[in-house]
Structure formats: C-alpha cells, structure tokens
C-alpha cells in the first residue's frame, strides 16, 4: 500500500502532512513517497505536474494532493495541477460525499448523507476555447460522449450497490441541450437498467437541482451529473457538510486515484497553523475506502473527525490541535 503525497501550495503544506499522520495511524503499513505539484512547482520547473510526479502517482496507484494556487488570468503554458492530473491519469470520476455532523453543520437536525458523482473527464472541461480574430466572440466546446457517460454511470451503480444506496438522481439540462445532455441522461439510464440494480431513479434539471439542494437537501442520495454541473452542485451540497473547508473528494480512474480536499490553497491564512486539516483527513479516508478497500479504517477516521468537530476548535493553532485530537482518538 503506497501513497504519493503532494502537499502543493499554501495551506496544502500544512493540512497534507497532518492527513498523512492520521492515515498512518490507522494504516501503519502505508508507505509514502513525496512529489511536487502546483503553482510553485510550475514557477520552478515550467510544469505544474512534472512527468516524474505523474509516474510516481501511477506507481503508487494513489495520490493525496493538497491545493493549488491558480492565477485568474491566462499564464502561457500553465494548466491547473489538478486538471492536469485528471487528464493525464484518466481520473474520470469525481466522488464528492457530503455528510452532516450533528450539532456542527447547518440545519444539522437534517440528516444528510449524499454523494455527488461528477463526470471528471469531458464536458466543458476539455479546455477547447477559441476566440475569433475580431476578439468579439469567444467559444467553448462542450463534449459529451456515450463512452464517458456510461463509464461514470458504471461507477455510480457500483457505488450504489456497495453502499446500499436508495436513489440515483440524474442531473442534466436536456431541455436546452437535448443532444449532449440527452446522450448523458440516456446513457446513464441504460447502464442502470442493464445492471439490474433495483433502485429508485429520478432526474432533475440542473437549475431545479440547485434549488432543491438549497431547500430540500435530504431528497438527494446519489446525484450523478456532467463535469461543470457537478463542480457547481457539489459546492452547493458541501454547504450541508459544513462548507468547503470540510469537504473531501476523490478523483478516480482505473487503477489510479487522487484524493483532494475541495478547498483551495488559502494564501491569506497559509503558514499560520490555523488551517483545518479535516477535509484533507477525510480525503485520506476516501482513499482507504475506495482504493485500498479498508472501510473499517475509513469509518474510524470519519467518526473521529465528526467527534473532533463536535468538541469544538480553538481560535488559534487549529492544524496542530485537530491533528493531536484525531491521533488521540484513533489511538483509543
Ligand atoms: C474543483 C475545483 C477545480 C475544478 C478547479 C480548481 C480547476 O473547483 O476541484 O472542484 O473546477 O474542477
Ligand atoms: Mn469546484
């Protein structure tokens, strides 16, 4: 069992080492290999994810990435580290679970336990943008293929089966995009039907899904959707799990996966020891659950994280406090 550890930029350098300590507390046999990725790496090497890093992730079969600081303007030759990893490693599924924690998360009288399954390889993220010579019209291509839609549906079915889920909601915009989103919707429906899985299946247009995510989050169990819709819907969903600061994610491919806290590099608070490492730890737990097939260890981390959050955080020294509290609980 091997892990490629990539702290990346900003608070990634604080939360990722903390998450590795927690992983090793429940999986003592875990070996780690450090690798570079991110904006700083780009500035030093001209590449946000050097070829050696990609190879190390492939060799390990698993990576844990912190965060990347991204410029909002176009920098020649730069592509976001996480986007590069998704593309180069074929990480076609993005699994984003959201769980409420009693007494901690918003409206926590509501029991929320959902997963947003985001198609991670195509849609508007293929990066084909052009601007015409006049500079007056810019165009982005959005590609949906049957193959990628079926592949994400197969992951969704496998997940639903493994976790005895009750419902799959297909989220799309086929009323306006009948060819692309129609293909996505039909492909997902086909795969679910062919699988023989007995589960409730419904569908929502993305705008209605967004409204329901705000007003009726408990109606969701598994939501499966295209890349950009999944990007947006999973951030909205994360609100019910305590916000982006607590949200984990797993980018999954065939034989390789990269876990990543959804939060960014937070340059404003970097280096102060105040970043909460829980999202990074929960991302590590996702590796334990989905990649190393150690659900018991994943449950332990998740339960400890909920208990630590319920006990409350200090005003300063949060990274060290949470790490110690987690290690203390896991040692019991
Ligand atoms: C995410 C992030 C990324 C995305 C950015 C950093 C490129 O928002 O992982 O959700 O848009 O996919
Ligand atoms: Mn996002």
121-162, pLDDT tens digit by residue? 999 999 999 999 999 999 999 999 999 999 999 999 999 999
Longest Cα–Cα distance of the chain, Å, equals 66
Beta 200-205 vs 167-172: how paired, if at all? parallel
Can you tell me the distance from the alpha carbon of 111 to that of 284, in angstroms, rounded to the nearest whole number?
23
> Ligand 2 is a single-atom ion; what residues have CB below 5 A from it?
231
pLDDT in tens, 19-46: 999 999 999 999 999 999 999 999 999 9
- What average pLDDT does range 296-312 have in this prediction? 98
Domain architecture of the chain: domains with CATH: 1-95+243-332 (3.40.718.10), 105-241 (3.40.718.10)
**How big, in percent rounded to 5, are the helix, strand and coil portions of the chain?**
45, 20, 35
The per-residue pLDDT of the chain, averaged, comes to: 97
For residue range 230-270, list pLDDT tens digits in order: 999 999 999 999 999 999 999 999 999 999 999 999 999 99
User: Of the residues 82, 85, 265, which should be mutated to test ligand 1's pocket, given the most ligand atoms within 8 Å of the CB?
Assistant: 82
CA–CA separation, 180 vs 163, rounded Å?
Answer: 30
Categorize the per-residue pLDDT at 293 as very low, low, confident or very high, splitting at 50, 70 and 90.
Answer: very high
- Which is it for strands 138-140 and 129-131: parallel, antiparallel or unpaired? antiparallel
Q: Residue 67 contacts by C-beta under 8 Å, 6 or more apart in sequence?
A: 8, 9, 10, 11, 12, 38, 260, 261, 263, 264, 265, 266
Beta carbon of 80 within 6 Å of any ligand 1 atom: yes
Residue 58, classed as helix, strand or coil, is helix
* 235 flagged as catalytic: yes
DSSP summary character for residue 239: G
CB of 82 closer than 6 angstroms to any ligand 1 atom: yes
Instruction: Output the pLDDT for position 70.
Output: 82
Shortest-distance Cα residue to atom 12 of ligand 1: 231
* C-beta of 9 in contact with ligand 1 (< 6 A): no
Ligand having the closest approach to the CA of 65:
1
75-116 pLDDT, tens digit per residue, is: 888 989 999 999 999 999 999 999 999 999 998 678 999 999
Catalytic one among 13, 36, 173, 212?
Answer: 173
pTM: 0.96
């Amino acid at each position: 069992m091997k892990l490629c550890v990539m702290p990346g930029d900003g608070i990634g350098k604080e939360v990722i080492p903390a998450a590795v300590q927690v992983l090793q507390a429940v999986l003592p046999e875990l070996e780690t290999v450090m690798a570079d990725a991110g904006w700083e790496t780009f500035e030093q090497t001209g590449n946000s994810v050097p070829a050696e890093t990609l190879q190390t992730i492939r060799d390990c079969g698993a990576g844990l990435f912190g965060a990347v600081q991204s410029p909002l303007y176009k920098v020649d030759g730069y592509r976001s580290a996480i986007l590069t990893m998704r593309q180069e490693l074929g990480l076609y599924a993005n699994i984003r679970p959201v769980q409420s924690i009693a007494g901690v998360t918003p409206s926590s009288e509501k029991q929320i336990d959902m997963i947003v399954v985001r198609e991670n390889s195509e849609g508007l993220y293929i990066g084909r943008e052009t601007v015409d010579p006049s500079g007056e019209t810019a165009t982005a291509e959005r590609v949906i293929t049957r193959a990628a839609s079926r592949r994400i549906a197969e992951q969704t079915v496998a997940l639903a089966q493994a976790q005895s889920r009750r419902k799959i909601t297909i989220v799309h915009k086929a009323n306006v995009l009948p060819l692309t989103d129609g293909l996505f919707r039909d492909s997902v429906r086909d795969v679910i039907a062919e699988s023989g899985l007995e589960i409730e299946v419904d569908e929502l247009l993305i705008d209605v899904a967004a409204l329901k995510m705000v007003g009726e989050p408990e109606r969701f169990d598994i939501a499966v959707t295209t890349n950009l819709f999944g990007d947006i819907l999973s951030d909205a969903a994360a609100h019910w799990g305590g916000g982006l600061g607590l949200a984990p994610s797993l980018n999954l491919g065939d034989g390789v996966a990269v876990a990543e806290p959804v939060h960014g590099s937070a340059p404003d608070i970097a280096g102060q020891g105040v970043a909460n490492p829980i999202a990074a730890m929960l991302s590590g737990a996702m590796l334990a659950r989905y990649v190393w097939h150690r659900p018991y260890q994943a449950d332990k981390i998740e339960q400890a994280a909920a208990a630590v959050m319920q006990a409350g955080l200090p005003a300063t020294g949060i990274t060290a406090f949470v790490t110690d509290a987690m290690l203390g609980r896991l040692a019991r």
